[in-house]
Amino acid sequence: MGSELARAVQRGEAGPARIIGLFDEYVPGRSALAKELGLNQEPAPAEVDSVSELIALPGLDLVVECASQAAVIAHAEAVLSAGKSMLVMSSGALISPGFMQTVLAAAEASGASIYVPSGAVGGIDALRASKALLEEVTIVSTKRPIALSGAPGFAEWENVEITGPTVIFEGSATEAVGLFPANVNVAATVSMAGIGPDATKVRIVADPDSPGNVHEIYAVSRAGKFSLRFENMPHETNPKTSFLAVLAAIETLRSICEPGLRIGT
């Protein structure tokens, strides 16, 4: 996803944003992307060996995380404390006990901001607007088994033939993000917009015939009820990620970097 976002920025899809530097622990991939971007940008983005080197680059205002929950937990406080704003894709990290308070304190002290894209769903604005009146929020995520493979919560199903819709997990968003760290960041985002990670209910379904990565949100509030369904095509370079999640991240970047009209934010 990081590569896709970098290419989108270079194509001008994020307004006047410019890529200052790149960091990835996988050096061959990092070097290949830096070389590719350098063909169309002068000066070429700097290729650095650590997050500390990245945030020290002159002219850097925003760090975009496309790595993992572990990377957010390891580096977000340092990034924000350095006064650099941060766009967080692995939003599940933010609902770790006490971590949200830590990063918010760092951001407040330095004046930096934390941005979380809506990801593979919509309706985040409705959840935020009715937050004080919400009584119940459930998100059901249905994916093909291959998209869940490798997750700790899928371990007992790895060698099981799944022939139809099968409930793999039911519980809170807090529990889900630890068991499916690469799959349900959307549940974390929904929970932060709404009634919180402990109260938000999550159901994960494996279905070999799923039309894509399907997310359904059901909410009950004193202002009314709403339900939303999203049938997302998996991104061609990463079946664990919905195409819409990439598009949402690009739009978030554009809204940060380009002044003008804001709708639903």
Residue 238 falls within a domain, yes or no? no
Domain span at 209: 124-232
If one compares 172 and 42, the residue with the highest pLDDT of the two is: 172
Convert 141-173 to b/e letters by CB count within 10 Å (16 or more is b): bbbbbebbbebebbeebeeeeeeeeeebbeebb
Residues 53, 74, single domain; the answer is yes
Residue 211 falls within a domain, yes or no? yes
Q: Please report which confidence band the pLDDT of residue 44 belongs to, taking 50, 70 and 90 as the band edges.
A: confident
**Which of 120-129, 171-180, 244-253, 256-265 has the weakest average pLDDT?**
256-265
pLDDT of 234 reads 78
| Number of domains the chain is built from | 2
Distance, CA of 176 to CA of 172 (rounded, Å): 6
Residues 139, 92, single domain; the answer is no
pLDDT of 182 reads 84
Nearest residue to 140 (alpha-carbon basis) of 190, 174, 182, 179: 190
Residues 253, 220, single domain; the answer is no
If one compares 158 and 262, the residue with the highest pLDDT of the two is: 158
Alpha-helical (H) ranges within 14-111 are 27-38, 51-55, 69-81, 99-110
- pLDDT above 80 (res 97): no
Mean pLDDT computed over 43-55: 94
Between the alpha carbon of residue 232 and those of residues 102, 117, 142, 186, 257, the distances in Å are 33, 16, 10, 12, 26
Question: Mind listing the pLDDT tens digit for each residue in 129-147?
Answer: 999 999 999 999 999 999 8
Question: Mind listing the pLDDT tens digit for each residue in 200-244?
Answer: 999 999 999 999 899 999 999 999 999 999 999 878 777 667 899
pLDDT of 259 reads 75
Residue 23 falls within a domain, yes or no? yes
Residue 217 falls within a domain, yes or no? yes
- CATH label of the domain that carries residue 217: 3.30.360.10
If one compares 183 and 112, the residue with the highest pLDDT of the two is: 112
Mean pLDDT computed over 168-185: 93
**Beta bridge partners of residue 238, listed in sequence order:** 235
Supply the residues annotated as catalytic: 215
- CATH label of the domain that carries residue 88: 3.40.50.720
**Which of 37-46, 71-80, 122-131, 233-242 has the weakest average pLDDT?**
233-242
pLDDT of 261 reads 73
For 224, counting Cβ atoms within 10 Å of its Cβ (0-12 exposed, 13-18 middle, 19+ buried), the class is exposed
Residues 10, 110, single domain; the answer is yes
Distance, CA of 219 to CA of 217 (rounded, Å): 7
CA atoms within 13 A of residue 74's CA, in its CB half-sphere: 9
pLDDT of 39 reads 84
Residue 94 falls within a domain, yes or no? yes
Could you list the beta-strand ranges (E) of the chain.
Answer: 21-22, 46-47, 62-65, 85-88, 114-115, 134-143, 166-172, 201-206, 213-221, 224-232, 234-235, 238-242
Residues 6+ apart with CB under 8 A from 86: 62, 63, 64, 65, 76, 79, 80, 112, 113, 114, 115
Residues 25, 91, single domain; the answer is yes
* Beta strands across the sheet bearing 114-115: 62-65, 85-88, 114-115
Mean pLDDT computed over 82-97: 94
Distance, CA of 116 to CA of 133 (rounded, Å): 22
Mean pLDDT computed over 19-37: 94
Convert 21-59 to b/e letters by CB count within 10 Å (16 or more is b): bbbbeeeeebeebbebbeeeeeebbbbbeebeebbeeee
- pLDDT above 90 (res 168): yes
Residues 99, 50, single domain; the answer is yes
